[in-house]
Amino acid sequence: MSSIMVSTLNELSQLKQSGFGQPEPRHGLNLLYWFAHDYIHVSNGDIVPKFKPQNGDFGFHKYQNRIEDDDHIVPIQNLPYYEVGNLNARGADKLPDYVRANHSSRKPDSNKDRIIVRRDTDGSFNRVYVTEHSDPKRFDSSRTYRVSQGLLKIIKNMSREDYLSSTRVDHFRFTPQNHYETAPDNNSWCTIL
């Protein structure tokens, strides 16, 4: 069995560089904002959920951390893991509209991102991870990151607009006419001269 090497995201710039939740229609950045802003309290060195993930609120369900090709995406522990972010899961309709806004069965990337938490014996979360599906059944271990308590605090103290403008990557492409184009939020293309 291989050992788990998961990078930790400590700053907004690291979250941005990771590419998690990007580009639209992916929902990961909004999911992480909701989680940090509305689902948890961070105090006295603990990440405390406002709700019990084992109750299934917001689409939380147990994450099995199964062996997939002899590789786990998070460390094996005798503590339960839970995941959230499947917009088709029972209870996910309780997530805010801004998390679910771009979800469509015609856009598989719109339901690709997840948050995985490890629940300690006292009910707090001692680890928070973000990840994405590499295919409909598997998560991508190379795109799995631990989110530090410090980064969760930073996100919690920001407006959603400031958070998104600090973490979204501008997606550029080169055209044969030697113009660069960028995709603004409305998903139309414009030429930058």
Sign of CA dihedral 145, 22, 150, 123: negative
**pTM, entire model:** 0.84
State the average pLDDT over residues 134-145.
90
The end-to-end CA distance of the chain, in Å, is 52
Confidence (pLDDT) at 4 = 63
Is 70 exceeded by the pLDDT of residue 188?
Answer: no
Confidence (pLDDT) at 3 = 55
The secondary structure of 104-141, three-state, reads: ECCEHHHHCEEEEEEECCCCCEEEEEEEEECCCCCECH
Strands 81-84 and 113-119: antiparallel
The more confident residue out of 47 and 74 is: 47
For the chain, what percent of residues have pLDDT higher than 90? Answer: 70
- What is the residue extent of each domain of the chain? 7-192
Q: Give pLDDT tens digits for 8-22.
A: 999 999 999 999 999
The dihedral over CA atoms of 95, 152, 12, 80, expressed in degrees to the nearest 10, equals -80
Strands 145-147 and 125-132: antiparallel
* Residue 120 banded pLDDT, cuts 50, 70, 90: very high
* Residue 169 banded pLDDT, cuts 50, 70, 90: confident
Q: Give pLDDT tens digits for 49-107.
A: 999 999 999 999 999 875 554 557 888 888 999 999 999 999 999 999 999 999 999 99
Q: What is the DSSP letter of 38?
A: I
Confidence (pLDDT) at 43 = 85
